[in-house]
């Protein structure tokens, strides 16, 4: 079997850097607080005709006279927490996972663990060994939180600790979490974990200010899960798992822009065409929870199936 990269069908492939792709229109550091923090009193300054385009809280691009802008100091912890709960206006984040390219490298898992204060046995994304029938070749399937548009987990939380943002992400506020684990029971994808013991490097993080978009520091007696690396999206960067993969498994982007970027090759493609041309699907669609993670089938795999050091000789195409 040739271990070369077999491109997927797509008519609108365009090479670009992930930073250029995510940066288009994403003025998260400025536009998201335009309501009163950045734009000063319009009567206090004379207009000079020099305008700047910013992203308003409703997701629309606005032209603002530069004379009405003023510098603001660092946000307070309360402001950062509130921004973390609201999300990034105008965005609808999506992830596409190409099963034909997963080799069980597990670098995505390691990158996630290292970034979120997780122990080796704790996983926000897990790579599962799958086998549809006994007669077909097994394959590997990364399974993160699906960030459902109609998430059952948020409906059962009694303290609003888990919530859905306007940009599609489902996050957890561990400052509110009481450890009831109702959300774990409600999640049909088993995407959540519980911190039964003190987290990794607890002493190291004891004086670190809690970041709701990173969910660090972790706390004993609370729930944790995949966050789509919300902290990196705020910085116009791709998620930790997406860029850590060496095999081109992950695509990530904005559904509103109809574009996703591959974390390995840095190609940007038409999101809808990628799904249509490759018969993409979501996990358990019959539940009606509307996941934001899509899978491309394991057909035409570019790697042989290797598990525990052995190669299984079975059908290579499905």
pLDDT of residue 196: 97
Residue 109 to residue 164: CA distance in whole angstroms: 24
* 128 CB-contact burial (10 Å; exposed 0-12 / middle 13-18 / buried 19+): exposed
Helix (H) or strand (E) holding 82: helix 77-86
pTM: 0.74
Q: What is the mean pLDDT of residues 71-96?
A: 85
Report the share of the chain in percent with pLDDT over 70. 75
pLDDT of residue 87: 97
Given a cut of 60, is residue 152 above it in pLDDT? yes
Instruction: Tell me if 33 sits within 8 A of 83, measured CB to CB.
Output: yes
Closest CA to 54 of 87, 83, 37, 31: 31
Q: What is the mean pLDDT of residues 155-161?
A: 98
**Residue 133 pLDDT grade (very low, low, confident, very high; cuts 50, 70, 90):** confident
pLDDT of residue 300: 76
**Residue 131 pLDDT grade (very low, low, confident, very high; cuts 50, 70, 90):** confident
pLDDT of residue 311: 52
1 to 6, 133, 247, 315, 317: CA distances (angstroms):
12, 22, 16, 12, 11
Mean pLDDT rounded to a whole number for the chain: 83
Residue 301 to residue 254: CA distance in whole angstroms: 26
pLDDT of residue 78: 80
Q: What is the pLDDT of residues 86-104, one digit of tens each?
A: 999 999 999 999 999 999 9
Q: What is the mean pLDDT of residues 113-130?
A: 96
**Residue 234 pLDDT grade (very low, low, confident, very high; cuts 50, 70, 90):** very high
Bridge partners of residue 98, in order along the sequence: 296
Instruction: Tell me if 261 sits within 8 A of 252, measured CB to CB.
Output: yes
Given a cut of 60, is residue 129 above it in pLDDT? yes
For 214, half-sphere exposure in the C-beta direction (CA atoms, 13 angstrom radius) is 20
- Under DSSP, is residue 139 helix (H, G, I), strand (E, B) or coil? strand
Domains and their CATH numbers in the chain: 14-21+91-311 (3.30.70.20), 27-78 (no CATH)
Q: What end-to-end distance do the CA atoms of the chain give, in Å?
A: 15
pLDDT of residue 93: 99
Q: What is the mean pLDDT of residues 219-247?
A: 97
Closest CA to 216 of 122, 150, 153: 122
Q: Which has more confidence, 312 or 317? A: 312
Mean pLDDT is lowest, of 41-50, 119-128, 191-200, 270-279, for: 41-50
pLDDT of residue 160: 97
Q: What is the mean pLDDT of residues 154-158?
A: 98
pLDDT of residue 62: 80
Q: What is the pLDDT of residues 3-15, one digit of tens each?
A: 444 444 444 444 4
pLDDT of residue 66: 76
pLDDT of residue 73: 58
All residues at 6 or more sequence positions from 8 whose CB lies less than 8 Å from its CB, including other chains: 98, 274, 277, 278, 296
Given a cut of 80, is residue 37 above it in pLDDT? no
pLDDT of residue 136: 77
Q: What is the mean pLDDT of residues 183-187?
A: 99
239 to 201, 214, 247, 264: CA distances (angstroms):
22, 11, 15, 12
What are the two backbone dihedrals, phi and then psi, of residue 149, each rounded to the nearest 5 degrees?
-75, -20
């Amino acid at each position: 079997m040739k271990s070369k990269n077999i491109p997927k069908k797509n008519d609108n492939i365009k090479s670009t850097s992930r930073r250029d792709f995510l940066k288009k229109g994403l003025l998260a550091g400025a536009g998201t607080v335009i309501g009163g923090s950045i734009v000063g009193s319009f009567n206090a300054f004379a207009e000079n005709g020099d305008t700047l385009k910013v992203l308003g809280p409703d997701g629309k691009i606005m032209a603002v006279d530069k004379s009405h802008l003023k510098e603001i100091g660092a946000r307070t912890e309360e402001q950062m927490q509130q921004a973390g709960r609201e999300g990034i206006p105008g965005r609808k984040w999506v992830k596409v996972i190409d099963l034909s390219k997963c080799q069980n490298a597990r670098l995505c898992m390691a990158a996630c663990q290292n970034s979120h204060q997780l122990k080796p046995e704790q996983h926000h994304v897990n790579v599962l060994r799958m086998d549809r029938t006994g007669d077909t070749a097994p394959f590997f399937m990364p399974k993160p939180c699906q960030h459902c548009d109609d998430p059952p987990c948020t409906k059962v939380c009694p303290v609003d600790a888990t919530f859905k943002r306007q940009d599609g992400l489902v996050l957890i506020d561990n400052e509110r979490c009481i450890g009831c684990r109702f959300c774990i029971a409600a999640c049909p994808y088993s995407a959540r974990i519980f911190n039964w013991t003190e987290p990794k490097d607890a002493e190291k993080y004891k004086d670190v200010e809690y970041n709701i978009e990173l969910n660090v520091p972790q706390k004993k007696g609370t729930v944790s899960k995949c966050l789509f690396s919300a902290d990196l999206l705020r910085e116009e960067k791709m998620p930790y798992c997406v860029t850590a993969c060496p095999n081109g498994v992950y695509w990530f982007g904005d559904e509103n822009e109809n574009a996703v970027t591959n974390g390995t090759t840095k190609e940007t493609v038409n999101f809808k065409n990628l799904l249509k041309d490759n018969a993409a699907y979501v996990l358990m669609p019959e539940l009606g929870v509307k996941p934001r993670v899509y899978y491309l089938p394991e057909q035409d795999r570019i790697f042989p199936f290797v598990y525990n050091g052995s190669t299984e000789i079975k059908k290579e195409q499905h």
